Chains A and B, each alone.
Chain A
Amino acid sequence: MIKLECEIEKIKNAIYQTERITGKNLTLPVLGSILFIASGKSLKMRATNLSLGIEIEVPAKVEEEGTVAVSGSVLTGIFSNIFQKENVVLEEKDGNLLIKTKKSQIKLKCQPNEDFPTIPKVTGNKFEIDSKKLIDGIKSVYYSSSVSDIKPEISSVYFYSKDDNLVFVSTDSFRLAEKKIKVKNIEEVPGILIPFKNVPEILRVFGEFGGEVEICFNKNQISFSSDNVYLTSRVIDGIFPDYPQIIPKESKTDCVVLKQDLLNALKLSNIFSDKFNQVNLTVKPKEKVFELSSQNNEVGENKTYLDGALSGENVEVSFNYKYFVDCLQSINTDSVSIRFNQSSKPIVVSGVSDNSFIYLIMPMNR
């Protein structure tokens, strides 16, 4: 018979976080609910969709310990419409959960909670990392993952340790993003594949959070834990492609342009690109020409010229607009370096004098 009192803001946040990880469309209805566990001086909220599991602990004044399961979507509905700032009292009575604030009284049906599963506690190697670094690493690459399930190995964010870096990589085989994050004295990480579908949730849970995150992993499972949050995800059992061999070591044409100029020009080009998002790029270093162009029979066409430092051979390539724009968000410098090796080899994009991030785009065939 649960009975407790707790700060409304804290419980509200915890509900938002956990509700996203409840299992929707699963055969077991209890997975759609959040499990409340009141014990000691805290309330634990737990949810899982059997691919991810989360547990958030909030401080509470527990009068009676106990466990209840309530529908996650109903809870978010309720709490997004309670705007008071005081404490909230939760009390279980006759198979119902009573939610009381000063100005509202809510009675909510409970789900039978004995079928609510446990969340695996991961055992294995551990290391700590600043959550900002972790998020930066994942965020810099995850948009390049393959969306389809056909090849689970690349429908994932891959990370491994190398020298003093934690290296994050994603590819959908048309483009590839790699971000290196400096972590001192890092534990050896052999290479972990986090399912792409779980990545947005990981970003959301730890995106706002500042502080150290402890990562624990083995070959089946990975967990991220901070003071009050425990998040665990299954990992993909597979081998990520041997990508370093395809990163070109040298280049025949080098360009440096301002990121903002490039972004504006690309966006403009996109208005005129065809259904394949094709944008053409012509670089003629001797004539100082860096031209982006696109045409569409129904809309019209455009050409944009950018100033920049250009050197090497002339080159003409076409690429998918989306692939190019995607990577700019991960480049933190004002200038972008673009390197080419003839028109049929991958285009290499990176920040100027920043070798932590590298991005490859395959050109389109004309």
Chain B
Amino acid sequence: MDTKQLWKRCLVEIETGVSKANFSTWFKNTSILREETGIVYVGVPNEFVRDWLKNKYHKLITKTIADAYENMRAVEYVITKLETDRQELSNINQPYLNKELPLKDLYINPDDNLNPRYRFDSFIVGGFNELAYAASQAIIDNPGTKYNPFFIYGGTGLGKTHLIQAVGNAIKEKYQDKKVHYMTLEKFATDFINSLQGNKANSFKEKYRKYDLLIIDDIQFIGKMEKIQEELFHTFNTFYENNKQIIFSSDKHPNHIPELADRLKSRFSAGMIVDISEPEYESRLAILKVKTQELGISFEPEILEYIASVISGNIRELEGNLNIVICQYRLKNKAPTLAEVKNLIKNNIKPKKNVNIKDVVKTVGEYYSLEETSIYEKTRRKEIVKARQVVMYLLREDFNVSYPLIGQKLGGKDHTTVIHSYLKIKADIKNDAQLLQELEQIRALFK
């Protein structure tokens, strides 16, 4: 039985029997909740309405329902939450509710600039960052002596900031007397410029040198700032001499930061340089799981698996996409299906690139300083063979081109030749770090 329809029909009937004012006062926000063994349960917003319906309109209601639904034996009134829509919304808001007071606890501490949210508890260690993680643990155990400076680099959104802030938080907790300070290079630069303007260069030096651990984020922008490089150099030396830990993060290896003074380059290299690469599938899945757990939401495993499989690369993107799904979940208050999720994040998935085969050949040729045409030639010169195999590997691995097509385009080779080349490179990169690096650099050229 469709209770909605039934109640609608009854209301039309009742409306004719009572005055308009009475109708809108007493019958607004009512509904039939359910029917069980002939008892019809009418939902009402509050006790006042229940009382009055029972006392005044019971006969009318009973009669009207009985006319429309012959199996009815009795009518009961039940108080339900008012306006289900609004109530649902406020239910969803519930998790945020008690956050406002404590949330402000999480604000960045002005003394050390660290965000307490960044902790190792929420840091996921996987193959892509385990070296960086291990090194940072060593630093926490022996700050200032083991790996000083600690230089960490990797692409955007891979958790560099999280890691270095977590180190700061951990050191702060472990050694109560140590003063920790986190800042971005930009802050360092503005501070320095302000101190020059105010003729307070000395106080600037003192300000930073009083810390026991200095963390500078996004150091890659230092390239063009000559004066600041100099200042950083001095600050660095003071820290280093006093065995105080200093941590840098950058999105590039120091050797690739343009216009970085050699003396800084060599200083950065003196400690420990580690990179964080892109997380592999398992780590991505682990990140999504932790993130959903934190928020107290559970999704079907295949949804998380799907997100982890299609969004590769950046962790920030991964979280962003998860947030889209969570937002949808909160809005509708029901878990989305896999199909809905696919639809939601379809715009954020990077399509597999359709790259012109010629372009690939050209880029690889340029990288190895070879003539583009020589790759198409039938020659067994060692350097050309290697370049050709790299082209085939990339076309297959990154761009999903079919073996026969690759063979055809590269001077009419048999598809088995292509398969051989592909497998050869694939096997070689496992042992040949040089080759792997070359491939990474070539790939970077396509971006």
Q: Are A234 and B101 in contact (CB under 8 A)?
A: no
Q: Are A28 and B107 in contact (CB under 8 A)?
A: no
In Å, the complex CA distance between A29 and B110 comes to 59
Considering only residues 23-63 of chain A, those with a C-beta below 8 Å from chain B are 26-29, 31, 48, 50-51, 53
Beta-carbon nearest neighbor of A221 in chain B = B47
Binding site secondary structure of chain B:
helix
Q: Are A27 and B25 in contact (CB under 8 A)?
A: yes
A243 at the interface (CB under 8 A from B): yes
Q: Are B104 and A154 in contact (CB under 8 A)?
A: no
Pick out which of these stretches binds chain A: B48-56, B125-133, B199-207, B386-394: B48-56
Residues of chain A contacted by B81 (CB below 8 angstroms): 237
Select one of B21, B24, B48, B105 contacting A117, CB under 8 A: B48
In Å, the complex CA distance between A92 and B109 comes to 73
In Å, the complex CA distance between A118 and B94 comes to 34
In Å, the complex CA distance between A78 and B104 comes to 53
Considering only residues 107-162 of chain A, those with a C-beta below 8 Å from chain B are 115, 117-120, 122, 150-154
Q: Are A117 and B51 in contact (CB under 8 A)?
A: yes
Would you give the 0/1 interface string for B133-163, flagging 1 where the beta carbon is closer than 8 Å to chain A? Answer: 0000000000000000000000000000000
- Expressed in whole angstroms, the minimum distance between the Cβ of A257 and any Cβ of chain B is 24
Pick out which of these stretches binds chain B: A183-191, A262-270, A288-296, A339-347: A339-347
Select one of B50, B101, B109 contacting A120, CB under 8 A: B50
Beta-carbon nearest neighbor of A122 in chain B = B47
- Expressed in whole angstroms, the minimum distance between the Cβ of B108 and any Cβ of chain A is 8
- Expressed in whole angstroms, the minimum distance between the Cβ of A309 and any Cβ of chain B is 26
Q: Are A48 and B48 in contact (CB under 8 A)?
A: yes
Would you give the 0/1 interface string for A339-366, flagging 1 where the beta carbon is closer than 8 Å to chain B? Answer: 0001111100000000000001011010
Q: Are B47 and A234 in contact (CB under 8 A)?
A: yes
Pick out which of these stretches binds chain B: A1-9, A67-75, A168-176: A168-176
**Most chain-A CB neighbours within 10 Å: which of B101, B107, B109?**
B101
In Å, the complex CA distance between A349 and B21 comes to 50
B197 at the interface (CB under 8 A from A): no
Knowing A26-B25, A50-B48, A119-B51 are in contact, say whether A360-B101 is a contact too (CB < 8 A): yes
* Interface residue range, chain B: 20 to 34
Knowing A118-B55, A150-B90 are in contact, say whether A50-B97 is a contact too (CB < 8 A): no
A306 at the interface (CB under 8 A from B): no
A242 at the interface (CB under 8 A from B): yes
Q: Are B101 and A362 in contact (CB under 8 A)?
A: yes
In Å, the complex CA distance between A37 and B109 comes to 65
A241 at the interface (CB under 8 A from B): yes
Beta-carbon nearest neighbor of A112 in chain B = B19
Knowing A173-B97, A344-B107, A365-B107 are in contact, say whether A234-B46 is a contact too (CB < 8 A): yes
**Most chain-A CB neighbours within 10 Å: which of B48, B50, B79?**
B48
Would you give the 0/1 interface string for B61-103, flagging 1 where the beta carbon is closer than 8 Å to chain A? Answer: 0000000000000000001010000000010011001101110
* 14 A-B residue pairings within 8 Å (CB atoms): A27-B21, A27-B25, A28-B21, A28-B22, A50-B49, A51-B48, A118-B51, A118-B55, A151-B93, A171-B101, A221-B47, A243-B98, A362-B100, A362-B101
3 tightest A-B contacts by CB? A241-B98, A173-B100, A120-B47
